[in-house]
Amino acid sequence: MNPDHSQLILAYLDGTISGEELARLNAVLLESAEARAELRSWAAADVRLRELAADGAYAAPMTPSRPQPGAGKMVSWLDRGLLRGLRLPLVTGLAAGAVLTSVVWAYVLPPAVEPIPVLAELLVDSFETGAAPGNRGVPQEFRIWSGDHAELAPEKAGLVPRTGAWMLRLLRSDWEGENSPLSHVGDQLQVIDLAAHRAEIESGRVVAHAEAWFNQVAPETEEELAGGVTLFAFARDPRPYRGENWKAWYEGHLGLSGQQQERTDLDSATWERVAVNMALPTATRFLVVHIRINRTKPEPTAVPVTFAGSYVDDVKAELLLRPAANVAAENPAQ
Amino acid sequence: MQLLARHEPVIRGYLRSLVSRAADVDELMPDVALVAWRKFSELREPEAFPRWACVIARYEALRFRRDRARDRLVLDEAVIAKLADEGAGETPLRARQMAALEVCVERLPAERRELLLACYATEAAIKDVAAQTGRTVDGLYQLLRRIRVDVQRCVEGTLKQEASS
């Protein structure tokens, strides 16, 4: 370890290096293989230290005074890949299930000690209306399900809808017109306009909640699947972004909930509930409720997956209004 | 894709050596993962995965640098290319280094360990920690540097000991 090199390298990695120092560092690195090896070593240390800090393995009393956007558990590529994968099922598939059961994200709330009062009911759907879900990707209308191939289904092979006579069956991991060859996640989404709740959202007190119930009947297959729910908050209407622009769509979110998911057991008599909460950023104007089914052991597939028997019922989304005193106590500097 | 998950830390470390900000790694990893997934069928031997993924990361990092070079202080492209070429074969070493680092951090006196990790908690942590500990930002960076050098020396010693045993 060369002290002069270390000083320059650490300043570079810390983002405190000056232009003159950077020129010196460039010259050193261009000439010295030893210096380059040292930079790589410091870079690996930088990554590991950030991981240790994010893991909270060693409790530190000196934490930032206010939560920073993106603070908390480190966002891994798996997590972000999962988000992008809503359009790119190949990535969704690889990310979901096998690794994630409950990914914590920015804006995810700690469990509430007391129930939070309901501000507005946004979505209550047990799929009894006869409105078939869309299969052409991102919904183009508010409050309409659309995404991958899906259908309304009655009782089948002993699996009874949790409520009413109908439930949603997620059929395949691709949507009409999609060309992805490596898909194994079935998605359905709803876009909800929150204009009517703008004032409350701007107060910083609104929490979005969503939940869905999942079940599976596939005695002939040993494939393990998981059902999941995610919420996305947007400042702008996300519906116009389709096709290749879905990537921008999902990168453009203001906030998102945890990627909550639960493995669906093979007992058709039991339904598994998945629920998420998300404190809405004050600029939120649109909410996306995303439900999905995915393999828990992703493997590359040559063709999109056809799910043998994966069902969703009783999807609910609502806005909750946190007491002003609680919010103020959490943000004393504001 | 278990391969990606297993080798993620060293690939992140490799990427970190090619970009100027820690946040750039978070931005690039999804792209690396996506390309790796698309090209996965081209991988012949699972054992070659780390180096193979590093080649993908190298390309993504150079593309990223070209996009951002005007905006900030970044290393010359020729330097990044050298760093990338040499680093792609070092993933086993980096994996051992990262494991040793955790042990060395654990060995630090509690106060130093907590200070060190607090500084890495978020991008804005340095200012917060400086304020909370009554130090200037420059003073905190100097202290941080000393702690990190101690940790790196411990890591180097551990790796040498491993190599000789």
pLDDT tens track for A15-28: 889 989 999 999 99
What is the pTM assigned to this prediction? 0.50
Tally the residues of chain A: 334
Mean pLDDT of all residues in A40-62: 77
If 0-12 CB within 10 Å is exposed, 13-18 middle and 19+ buried, where does residue A300 land? middle
Q: Are residues A33 and A158 in the same domain?
A: no
**Residue A62 covered by a domain:** no
Judge if A81 and A51 occupy the same domain.
no
- Write the single-letter amino acid at A269: A
Q: Residue A71 has which token pair?
A: 């603070």
Chain B residues 62-121 with a CB less than 8 Å from chain A: 73, 75-76, 78-79, 82-83, 86-87, 90, 94, 97-98, 101-102, 105-106, 113-121
The pLDDT tens digits of the residues spanning A80-125 come to: 343 333 333 323 332 332 222 223 222 333 344 456 789 999 999 9
CA distances from A266 to A89, A182, A186, A271, A324 (A): 24, 25, 18, 10, 44
Detail the DSSP E strand segments found in B38-155. none
Residue at A61 is within a domain: no
Please, which pLDDT band fits residue A232 given cuts at 50, 70 and 90? confident
Whether residues A20 and A166 share a domain: the answer is: no
pLDDT category at A309 given cuts 50, 70, 90 is confident
Determine the pLDDT at residue B83: 93
Exposure string (b/e) for B107-142, b if CB count within 10 Å is 16 or more? ebeeebbbbbbbbbbbbebbebbbeeeebeeeebbe
CATH code of A136's domain: 2.60.120.260
pLDDT, position A299: 55
CA A287, A290, A293: angle at the middle one, nearest 5? 175
State the total domains in chain A: 2
Q: What share of chain B is helix, strand, coil (3-state, %, to 5)?
A: 80, 0, 20
Residues of A in contact with B113 (CB under 8 A): 58
3-class DSSP state of A251: helix
The tens digit of pLDDT for each residue in A197-216 reads 999 999 989 999 999 999 98
Q: Which pLDDT band holds residue A330 (cuts at 50, 70, 90)?
A: low
Q: What is the pLDDT along chain B (165 residues), one digit of tens a residue?
A: 567 777 888 999 999 999 988 888 888 888 888 788 777 777 777 788 888 889 889 988 988 888 776 667 889 989 999 999 999 889 899 999 999 999 999 899 988 898 899 898 876 678 888 888 888 888 899 999 999 999 999 999 999 988 887
Contact across the interface for B106 and A49, Cβ inside 8 Å = no
B138, containing H or E segment:
helix B137-164
| H-helix or E-strand spanning residue A30 | helix A19-31
Q: What are the residue ranges spanned by the domains of chain B? A: 2-89, 108-164
Claim to verify: residue A23 and residue A121 sit in the same structural domain: no
Q: Say if A66 falls within a structural domain.
A: no
Same domain for A162 and A200, yes or no, is: yes
User: For the ranges A195-204, A255-264, A288-297, which has the lowest average pLDDT?
Assistant: A255-264
CA dihedral angle for residue A293, residue A241, residue A244, residue A137, rounded to 10 degrees: 30
Q: Which domain holds residue A144?
A: 77-330
Interchain contact B56–A (C-beta under 8 A): no
Q: How far apart are CA A206 and CA A234, in angstroms?
A: 14
